[in-house]
Amino acid sequence: MRVIVVGIGDIGYELARDLTREGAHQVVLIDTNEARCESLGEQFDALVLEGDGTHPELLQKALVEEADALVATTNSDAINTVIAMLAKRYGVPTIIVKLKDLGLRAACQEIGVARIIAPSISAAAQIVETLQGLGRPDLSLVSRGGLRFVELESQGIEGATLAEIGLPDSVLVLTVVRGEEVLLARGKTRIEQGDSLLLLVEDDKALEDARSILVKE
């Protein structure tokens, strides 16, 4: 089984150790810290890549399209959610993410995330247990309150930043899709012609509000 782990903190490290212990898996470890990557390469029989797991080029280098599972365990809920979305686009069969925010956890279930892991000392063991039972999704966190992901192509707002657009609190911009590039959304991110925005919306009204702001006829 080919497993990609993005974010090698405490949980990611334990997971890397458990997955490589018996040599039964092809393991890819991704982290942004250069020194940590060097250390991981010395400790584990795994492909270690330094870089940002939200960059499609790096995921392609990790052979994400051939992966049986991807685990996102960075310290950022937003980044883990973006990585899950990218993994879904690449057709990874099993996606596992570490999240703290309940809203994002519920929404991630909608895109087929196999399991949501809360940060804890037993998280790595929970992940290994899930990988051993691939194909059995954990539905303990079903969607709540109408939360869902929506992708809208912007129109008529080129040149404005996300901070300037003035979206309501019921709409969260996760990423900006620009051609083949996927950008993590920030307030200073400036919209260009043809950009699509990946949104997490609270309900139908929030979606309509977002559409009225982002799509100018």
CA dihedral 9, 15, 20, 25 (to 10 degrees): -120
How far apart are alpha carbons 132 and 71 in whole angstroms? Answer: 13
Q: What pLDDT does residue 137 have?
A: 39
Alpha carbons 54 and 15: distance in angstroms, whole number? 20
What is the reported pLDDT for 106? Answer: 66
Matching residue, tokens 């990988």? 131
> Look-up: residue for tokens 């890819």?
28
Q: Give the max Cα distance, the chain.
A: 58
DSSP output for the chain: -EEEEE--SHHHHHHHHHHHSSS-SEEEEEES-HHHHHHHHHHSSSEEEES-TT-HHHHHHTTGGG-SEEEE--S-HHHHHHHHHHHHHTT-SEEEEE---HHHHHHHHHTT-SEEE-SSTTHHHHHHHHHHTTT----SS---TT-EEEEEE-BS-TT-BHHHH---TTEEEEEEEETTEEEE--TTPBP-TT-EEEEEESSHHHHHHHHHHHB--
Q: pLDDT per position in the chain (217 positions), as tens?
A: 899 999 999 889 988 998 898 677 899 999 999 999 999 999 999 999 999 999 999 999 999 999 999 999 999 988 998 898 899 889 998 888 888 876 677 677 777 787 777 665 456 666 766 666 544 333 333 334 456 778 888 999 999 999 899 898 888 888 888 887 778 888 889 999 989 888 888 788 888 999 999 998 7
Number of other CB atoms surrounding residue 92 within 10 Å = 23
For the chain, what are the domain ranges?
2-132, 148-214
pLDDT the model gives residue 67: 95
CATH superfamily of 2-132: NAD(P)-binding Rossmann-like Domain (3.40.50.720)
pTM above 0.75, yes or no: no
pLDDT at 129: 64
Quote the pLDDT of residue 146. Answer: 56
- C-alpha to C-alpha distance for 194 and 176, rounded to whole angstroms: 10
Q: Which CATH architecture has domain 148-214?
A: 2-Layer Sandwich (3.30)
pLDDT at position 128: 65
pLDDT of residue 77: 87
What's the confidence (pLDDT) of residue 4? 97
> What per-residue confidence (pLDDT) applies to 181?
78
Distance between CA 159 and CA 146 in Å, rounded? Answer: 31
How far apart CA 112 and CA 12 sit, in angstroms, is 21
| pLDDT for position 122 | 52
